[in-house]
Structure 1
Amino acid sequence: MTSQDTGLDTRFTLATAIAREAGAMALDYFNRRDSLVIETKRDLQDVVSIADRNVETLIREKVEAALPGDGFLGEEFGHTAGTSGYTWVVDPIDGTAPFVNGMPNWCVSIAVLHDGVPVIGVIDAPCHGEVYAAATGRGAELNGRRLSLDPSRTIRNGMTGLGANSYVTPEAVADIVSRLLHEGGTFMRNGSGALMLAYVAAGRLVGYYEPYMHAWDCLAGYCLVTEAGGWHLPFPTEGEKLTRGSPVVAAGPGARIDLEKLAGLA
């Protein structure tokens, strides 16, 4: 076993344990959400609470204590460079809007990059009792059950996940929906891009497209999709690009061509 394999195994074990602990903390906040003070960021739909900040702080502190040379990027507190070649990319609560409104469609998303490539992805969805976990070359699992995508599933016999936010014009969103429906597809949006990417890995959705998304929302899901046998559009992780938004596209093998067309890539 190489030192890189050992480093990956160590971080995969740690990421899975931290995701479960962070998920339990987030669920406790969710169960007493009426007491939370809700703030807005970019607009009235972009919300945050002390739950987001404290869950991210928990994850950061656990990583720093165990692996002080690793870098860390979190949605709430930004980027800290590391020296090990590994960087943790975290959304403490992806789907804060569903979270504060009492809906279960949120998750804790933890990715680990090695030299810019997502090599670990763990997504904990506490309200559903589900933990999605993947590491490069080790496959993807949901609660310990191996995930493997069915190539017969397409946009015409399955559901496609779509995401949107204020970075994207209403007209662009309407066009995406229109083109998908004209191709015989149907869609869903549950408020958490990370969770919908996990659903692609699990075969519940045949693909996912969001024109503008951040690294902390997608990189864990990307690792899951890859290890389940799917495809995703590369996300730019070089330098400052890691902290900026980019289009996100992922698909099972039977839906890739249609998702590439939907995203204007083909």
Structure 2
Amino acid sequence: MSMQDTDIDQRFSLARSIAEEAGRLALDYFENRGSLVIETKRDLQDVVSIADRNVETLIRDRVAATFPRDGFLGEEFGHVEGSSGFTWVVDPIDGTAPFVNGMPTWCVSIAVLRGGVPVVGVVHVPCDDELYAAAAGRGASLNGKPLTLDPTRTIQNAMTGIGCNTYVAPERVGQIIAGLLGIGGNFIRNGSGALMLAYVAAGRLVGYYEPFMRAWDCMAGYCLVKEAGGDYLPFPVEGEALLGGHPVLASNLSAYSELLALHQG
């Protein structure tokens, strides 16, 4: 085993451990959400609470204690450059709107990048007691069971996840959904892009598309989908591009070209 393989394995192990610990903390907040103070960011649909901030702080502290030279990008506290070649990309609670409204479709999303490529992806879903985990060349799993995508699943015989937010014009969202329905597909949106990407890796969805997402929402899911046998649209990660929003598309290979056409249309 090479030194680089060892480096990935060590971070993979830590990411799984941290995701479970962070999930327990987030679940405690969820079960006591009546006492949370909810704040808004850009608009009334973009919300945050002390739960998001404290869960991210826990993750940052655990990473810094073991890999102090690694970079870190989190939704709540931004980007810290590293010097090791590895960068952690984290959404402490993806699906905050479902979270604060008492719905279970939220998760903790933790990825590790090396050379701009997601080499570790872990998504923990506390309400369902599910841990999705993947690392480059090591496959993807759900609660330890290997995930392998079924090539017979297509746009026409499976569900596709669609995401939207106020960065995307309502007309564009309508165009995407109309296009999907027009080719015989159907769609779902559950409020968490990271979770729907994990569902793609598990074969529950055949693909996922959102015109504007941040790195912390998609990098863990991208690693999961790739290791399960799917593909994804590259996400710009060089310099300031890592901090910006970009289109996100990931799917079973059987659906990729049709979803790409929806994106390009």
TM-score class normalised by the smaller sequence:
over 0.9
Secondary structure of 2:253 counterpart:
coil
Deviation at 1:98, TM superposition (A): 0.1
Secondary structure of 2:22 counterpart:
helix
CA distance in 2, matches of 1:13, 1:231: 24
Secondary structure of 2:123 counterpart:
strand
CA deviations 1:72-102 (Å, max 9, x no partner) are: 0000000000000000000000000000000
Q: Is the 8 Å Cα contact of residues 108 and 124 (structure 1) preserved in structure 2?
A: yes
Q: What letter matches 1:108 in structure 2?
A: V
What residue number does 2:243 align with? 243
Summarize the alignment of residues 1-266 of structure 1 with structure 2, pairs less than 5 Å apart.
1-264=1-264
Structure 2: runs of 5+ lacking an equivalent? none
Q: What letter matches 2:154 in structure 1?
A: T
CA distance in 1, matches of 2:179, 2:259: 11
CA deviations 1:22-69 (Å, max 9, x no partner) are: 000000000000100000001000000000000000000000000000
Secondary structure of 1:105 counterpart:
coil
Q: What letter matches 2:8 in structure 1?
A: L
Secondary structure of 1:72 counterpart:
strand
Query: Percent of aligned pairs with the same residue?
Result: 70
CA distance in 2, matches of 1:118, 1:185: 29
Q: Report the number of matched residues.
A: 265
Secondary structure of 2:166 counterpart:
coil
CA distance in 1, matches of 2:187, 2:67: 40
CA distance in 1, matches of 2:257, 2:77: 37
CA distance in 2, matches of 1:51, 1:214: 20
Q: Is the 8 Å Cα contact of residues 107 and 192 (structure 1) preserved in structure 2?
A: yes
Q: What letter matches 2:45 in structure 1?
A: Q
Structure 1: runs of 5+ lacking an equivalent? none
Secondary structure of 2:69 counterpart:
coil
Q: What letter matches 1:138 in structure 2?
A: R
CA distance in 2, matches of 1:240, 1:173: 26
CA distance in 2, matches of 1:10, 1:145: 20
Deviation at 1:129, TM superposition (A): 0.7
Deviation at 1:257, TM superposition (A): 1.2
Residues 250-259 or 49-58, more deviating: 250-259
4+ runs deviating over 6 angstroms: none
Q: Over aligned residues, Cα RMSD in angstroms?
A: 0.6
Q: Is the 8 Å Cα contact of residues 211 and 246 (structure 1) preserved in structure 2?
A: yes
Q: What letter matches 1:208 in structure 2?
A: Y
Secondary structure of 1:127 counterpart:
helix
Q: What letter matches 1:248 in structure 2?
A: V
Deviation at 1:254, TM superposition (A): 1.1
Secondary structure of 1:255 counterpart:
helix
Secondary structure of 1:263 counterpart:
helix
Deviation at 1:253, TM superposition (A): 1.4
Deviation at 1:262, TM superposition (A): 1.1
